[in-house]
Amino acid sequence: MDSHPSAPAWSPASWQARRVTQMPAYRDAAALADALAQLAQLPPLVTSWEIEALKGRLALAQQGRAFVLQGGDCAETFADCTSENIVQKLKILLQMSVVIAAGLKRPVVRVGRIAGQYAKPRSEDMETREGRVLPSYRGDLVNRNAFTAEDREPDPALMLRGYERAALTLNFVRGLIDGGFADIHHPENWDLDFVSHSPMADRYREVVRRVTDAMAFFESVTGQTIDDGRRIDFYASHEGLNLCYEQAQTRWLRHRSRWYDLTTHYPWIGARTAALDGSHVEFFRGVANPVSVKIGPATTPDELCRLAGVLNPGNEPGRLTFIHRLGAQRIDALLPAMIRAVRAAGAGVLWVCDPMHGNTEVLGSGIKTRRFDRILEELEAAFRIHAEQGSQLGGVHLELTGDHVTECIGGARGLTEQDLHRAYRSQVDPRLNYEQALEVAMRIADRG
Ligand code: PEP
Ligand code: CO
């Protein structure tokens, strides 16, 4: 593989000299400098020990010995930082992980889109309403959603507010996990009503039975509940979009002789900012965190190989994840050549499927939705294509919530277009609800 022996020097600020896209235009330079100086002084949100432990687990997933479950909101908002929301999100992710682990008979690496998923890429820099033109809303880390000039002005202090919300979220997640969260492991306590609504009812009952048996077996053999004496791992991730924020929490750790982005364990580069010569790839090539890149239909197999060369020149296991989000209609035409090219280049990567972002549609009513069947179709195609190519699908990346929202069409209860208005809460992309998310987990488990 091309190891880029002549790669230019990297520093936490070297991205600033590259082509910068999707970044807020902060106008008050003094306020920006002040916020960044504060962020640079504040303690890190995560530690390098956690990051390196995660990288080791991702390396296992890369070999097919573990499976990554990454999920959460499209965008977190500061107002969503409530105990109820955090509990529900953690609960659905842990329940899904138990179902998947029992089905695939592999450990599951749990990763939330949580504690920092506050910055969003936008296709238009400006938004026009009734002739008024204002900057687009870019997520709570950057500006405010209300359509006034003041609210839409990028405000550097929001990076501090985001850091604080992320810290509060992580603190609560760590407390819940340390405290046990025991009922997660007993499917008889879960909200599984939807199973009987499904045409797949018998198969789902079988999955639930397997989960229950696997747990009973583990508990009888070890005399422990499944998490006694073994802290569950749960990791945080977000799109590393606002590089000012990421840079301010990036530190040189002397005991490791490497730079770490300490805002999150597992940042990703979004599909809109994955250009090889762009600022985001430049920034993330220099930090030791495991990083993902979202791969859309426009990425060529050759670009994928060059991304691997730039982001992981030493082929470090667990360092680089490609999250393909190609759409149910296009995955068969595009993915095989990508897998072959990456293999031919000798690049070791973890492959994850995001079956959400290639399957978004806007209905006549203007509502954004996704069809559950398309989501499953892309996911099943991803498993099949990787197997056909002698590769491994090592994980799934989902937009979901633990609540009973109605944002995606379909699932066991057969939600229709008419149901969407009932509980459509996302300000951005439509998420799987509790039942739909668990149903996806059961489909994955069914492959075991
Ligand atoms: C997202 O994950 O919310 C997102 C914007 O995805 P992508 O970069 O794949 O379009
Ligand atoms: Co999204």
pLDDT tens per residue, range 149-165: 999 999 999 999 999 99
Residue-wise pLDDT tens digits, 226-267: 554 456 789 999 999 999 999 999 999 999 999 999 999 999
For residue 423, the model assigns a pLDDT of 96
| Per-residue pLDDT, 43 | 98
Give me the phi and psi of 168, to 5 degrees please.
Answer: -65, -40
Question: Which atom of ligand 1 is nearest to 354's Cα?
Answer: 9
Which residues are bridge partners to 398 per DSSP?
71
Looking at residue 182, its pLDDT comes to 58
Q: What is the pLDDT of residue 226?
A: 57
Q: Are 382 and 331 in contact (CB under 8 A)?
A: yes
Ligand 1 pocket: which of 321, 354, 357 to mutate (most atoms <8 Å of CB)? 357
Q: Please report which confidence band the pLDDT of residue 6 belongs to, taking 50, 70 and 90 as the band edges.
A: low
Angle between helices 201-222 and 83-104 (to 10 degrees): 90
CB of 357 closer than 6 angstroms to any ligand 1 atom: yes
Nearest to 39 by CA among 259, 286, 250, 267: 250
Does the beta carbon of 74 lie inside 6 Å of ligand 1? yes
**Ligand 1 closest atom vs CA 272:** 8
- Across 398-412, average pLDDT: 95
Categorize the per-residue pLDDT at 318 as very low, low, confident or very high, splitting at 50, 70 and 90: very high
Task: Dump the DSSP string for 144-201.
Answer: -SSSSHHHHS--THHHHHHHHHHHHHHHHHHHHHHH--GGGG-GGGS--GGGGGSTTH
Q: How confident is the model at residue 189 (pLDDT cuts 50, 70, 90)?
A: confident
pLDDT tens track for 322-364: 999 999 999 999 999 999 999 999 999 999 999 999 999 999 9
Give dist(CA 156, CA 114) in Å, integer: 21
Architecture of the domain made up of 14-445: Alpha-Beta Barrel (3.20)
Instruction: Give the range among 76-85, 109-118, 196-205, 305-314 with minimum mean pLDDT.
Output: 196-205
Residues paired with residue 126 on neighbouring β-strands, in sequence order: 135
Burial of 252 (0-12, 13-18, 19+ CB in 10 A): exposed
d(CA 355, CA 40): 36
Which residue is it, tokens 């179902």? 99
The pair of structure tokens assigned to 209 is 């039975």
Distance CA 65, CA 134 (A): 49
Task: Give, using CA atoms, the residue closest to atom 2 of ligand 1.
Answer: 74
**CA 113 to ligand 2 centroid distance, Å:** 10
Residue type, 326: L
Length of the chain: 448
Pocket-testing residue among 266, 325, 360, 398, ligand 1, by greatest number of atoms within 8 A of Cβ = 325
Strands 320-324 vs 350-353: parallel, antiparallel or unpaired: parallel
Tell me: the pLDDT tens digits for 45-89? 999 999 999 999 999 999 999 999 999 999 999 999 999 999 999
Mean pLDDT, the chain, integer? 93
Q: What is the pLDDT of residue 225?
A: 61
Cα 428 to ligand 2 centre (Å): 7
Kindly state the tokens that stand for 205. 């009952």
CA of 400 to the centre of ligand 2 (A): 10
Q: How far is CA 128 from the centre of its chain?
A: 30
CA distances from 195 to 212, 376, 411, 440 (A): 15, 16, 10, 12
Q: Indicate if the pLDDT at residue 183 is higher than 70.
A: no
Q: Which ligand is nearest to the CA of 119?
A: 1
User: If you take atom 1 of ligand 1, which residue's CA is the nearest one?
Assistant: 74
Task: Check pocket membership of 121 for ligand 1, CB cut-off 6 A.
Answer: yes
Ligand 1 contact, 324 CB (< 6 A): no
pLDDT at 1: 43
Question: Six-digit token pair at 343?
Answer: 């293999």
At residue 262, the pLDDT reads 98
- Quick check: CB of 325 below 6 Å from ligand 1? yes
Q: What is the rounded CA–CA span in Å between residue 336 and residue 334?
A: 6
What confidence score (pLDDT) does residue 211 get?
85
pLDDT at 209: 87
Which DSSP letter does residue 409 get?
A: B
- Please tell me the number of the ligand nearest to residue 268's CA: 1
| Nearest ligand to the C-alpha atom of residue 298 | 1
Alpha-carbon span 197 to 142, nearest angstrom: 42
- What is the pLDDT, as a whole number, of residue 251? 98
**330-362 burial by CB neighbour count: b if 16+ within 10 A, else e?**
ebeebbbebbebbeebebbbbbbbbbbbbbbee
- Ligand 1 centroid to residue 270 C-alpha, Å: 5
How far is the C-alpha of 115 from the C-alpha of 86, rounded, in Å? 10
Provide the whole-model pTM: 0.95
**Amino acid in position 22:** Q
Predicted confidence (pLDDT) at residue 302 exceeds the cutoff of 50: yes
Residue 178 binned pLDDT confidence (cut-offs 50, 70, 90):
confident
Residue located nearest, by CA, to atom 10 of ligand 1: 271
Mutational test site, ligand 1, from 272, 324, 352, max ligand atoms within 8 Å of CB: 272
The 10s digit of each residue's pLDDT in 91-134 is 999 999 989 998 999 999 999 999 999 999 999 999 999 999 99
Question: Smallest Cα–Cα separation from 51: which of 243, 367, 316, 412?
Answer: 316
Q: What is the CA radius of gyration of the chain?
A: 21
In this structure, the residue with its CA closest to atom 3 of ligand 1 is: 74
Q: Select from 73, 76, 141, 294 the residue to mutate for testing ligand 1; criterion: most ligand atoms less than 8 Å from CB.
A: 294
Sign of the dihedral through C-alpha 59, 61, 62, 63 = positive
